[in-house]
Amino acid sequence: MKRIHFIAIGGAVMHQLALALHRQGNTVTGSDDEINDPAKTNLALAGILPEKYGWYPEKITKDLDAIVLGMHAKGDNPELLAAQALGIPVYSFPQYVYEVSRDKKRVVIAGSHGKTTITSMVMHVLKQQGMDFDYLVGAKVAGFDQSVQLTDAPIIVLEGDEYPASVIEKRPKIFFYHPHISVLSGIAWDHINVFPTYDIYRSQFEQYLQMMEPGASLFYNNEDEEVRTVVNSSAAHLQATPYNVPQFHYENGEAIVATTGGPVKVSVFGRHNLLNMQAALLVCRNLGISEEDFYPAISSFTGAARRLEKMFAGDNLVAYRDFAHAPSKLQATLDAVREAYPAHRLIACFELHTYSSLNEQFLSEYAHSMDAPDDAVVYFSHHALELKGLPNLEKQTVKDHFKRADLVVADNKDSLTKTIQDLTSDRTRPVCLLFMSSGTFDGIDWNAVVSH
């Protein structure tokens, strides 16, 4: 057992890794300048919540075996400087995850979109089949109590992120997992604060494939032209297998997939989710699960939190929320809902929340991404701009970049709430309401808004 200290323990994945290592019997401590729920409650229940917030170099002692450094910590963090001065090994969380999974078969789900869903699907099927495995996933998944598990299982399934590993390790997290099996789900420019041009962004995936061991298995989205280009240039040494959307049709809003064993009803919908399911199928087959066993298991998969998650239904209205925030993700989510609810009036509300989406230099990438719904609303808060150190945005500027003449743009909670209430008041035609954001719309209670 080891003594491990977390700098910036309050992060969504960081605190889950800390909890997983604590459950193994390691002595885990940590620091942060702010910790919010659910991390605060989770750490408190485990008895490892820091007594007070802030950075305390006196916590860094020679008897520590390792420091795990979160992205939230800056380069001049006093605890980091103390650890470096004492020569204590400092790891980013992906580096440490690799350290504790060196002897496992590592499955990494990479790409610009679909990572959480594919990872969750694989986890669900492996659990249904009674297989022993560890995992790291970026969302709450039904049937799993935590988002990181570390045991002596022979397999680990990892959601792979292309964002930098830490303030002192600027390379993408996916570079450190060294997978035996990987998925490349799609490539669409994101994180412009780190990757200022599309070419720089795409090159991260080229390097990732080039770093994989010869003969490793790669399953790639054959319907994404950029993925095909990257695979053709960088994956000659891999066992690369393409996947496409399976044949399917809808019955009463539910997807029916054609399989070798006959039609199978699945609980996810939309071409992008069925494409994700094909990736999960190939991974599971590589891990020894037959197609005949895969489909009964996946049919009960209800999705990861905030991935086309049904919020409520009734009174001629159904509402979903989704994590979509990049232009390609918006379009895929909107297409999926439109396919599943062709007779409904589709009202879509998107929150600009990420650094990229709030940056005027990137906004033009959203042109026509909100054309599909009958009514479209875009929301942003001036407070979010301040927190990210970005200049102010005008509503008209946002509207111009989306290139939809009747787009409604709201920049405060009250006007957004009134807009949604007005749009949903007429339910003579069934309404499908879709909220898309990586944030929370500043905490608006949508159940209360639409029931008003």
What's the pLDDT tens digit per position in 8-23?
999 888 999 999 999 9
* Mean pLDDT along residues 38-51: 94
pLDDT band at 277 (very low <50, low <70, confident <90, very high): very high
pLDDT band at 355 (very low <50, low <70, confident <90, very high): confident
pLDDT band at 191 (very low <50, low <70, confident <90, very high): confident
DSSP conformation class of 417: H
Percent pLDDT > 70 in the chain is 98
Residue 70 structure tokens: 């979160």
* Mean pLDDT along residues 123-131: 96
Q: What's the pLDDT score for residue 304?
A: 59
d(CA 132, CA 418): 49
Cβ neighbours of residue 407 closer than 8 Å, sequence gap 6 or more: 370, 376, 377, 378, 399
pLDDT, mean over the chain: 91
Percent pLDDT > 90 in the chain is 64
Q: What is the pTM of this model?
A: 0.80
Q: What's the pLDDT score for residue 154?
A: 97
Q: What's the pLDDT score for residue 419?
A: 94
Q: What's the pLDDT score for residue 316?
A: 87
Give the relative orientation of helices 291-298 and 115-128 as an angle to the nearest 10 degrees. 110
The residue to which tokens 């787009």 are assigned: 407
Which of these ranges, 182-191, 202-211, 225-234, has the smallest mean pLDDT?
Answer: 182-191
The type of residue at 186 is: G
Cβ 109 vs Cβ 119: under 8 Å = yes
pLDDT band at 305 (very low <50, low <70, confident <90, very high): low
The residue to which tokens 């949508």 are assigned: 446
* Mean pLDDT along residues 335-342: 84
pLDDT in tens, 225-244: 999 999 999 999 999 999 99
What's the half-sphere exposure (Cβ side, CA atoms, 13 Å) at 356?
22
* Mean pLDDT along residues 217-231: 96
The residue to which tokens 């319907």 are assigned: 223
Residue 230 structure tokens: 């990257």
d(CA 90, CA 181): 27
* Mean pLDDT along residues 247-275: 86
DSSP 108-137: EEESSSSHHHHHHHHHHHHHHTT---EEE-
Asked if residue 311 has pLDDT above 60, the reply is yes
Q: What's the pLDDT score for residue 119?
A: 96
What are the distances in angstroms from CA 321 to CA 260, 345, 349, 372?
Answer: 33, 16, 9, 16
d(CA 220, CA 234): 12
d(CA 196, CA 191): 8
Map residue 150 onto helix, strand or coil. Answer: coil
Q: What's the pLDDT score for residue 236?
A: 97
DSSP conformation class of 292: H
What are the distances in angstroms from CA 130 to CA 210, 293, 365, 434, 435?
Answer: 33, 12, 44, 35, 35
* Mean pLDDT along residues 122-127: 96
* Cis geometry, peptide bond prior to residue 263 (ω within 30 degrees of 0): no
* Mean pLDDT along residues 100-108: 96
Asked if residue 200 has pLDDT above 80, the reply is yes
Cβ 1 vs Cβ 24: under 8 Å = yes
Residue 326 structure tokens: 């990049």
Asked if residue 330 has pLDDT above 90, the reply is no
pLDDT band at 215 (very low <50, low <70, confident <90, very high): very high
Q: What's the pLDDT score for residue 188?
A: 85
pLDDT band at 397 (very low <50, low <70, confident <90, very high): very high
Q: What's the pLDDT score for residue 17?
A: 95
Asked if residue 307 has pLDDT above 80, the reply is no
Q: What's the pLDDT score for residue 293?
A: 95
Q: What's the pLDDT score for residue 222?
A: 97
DSSP conformation class of 141: B
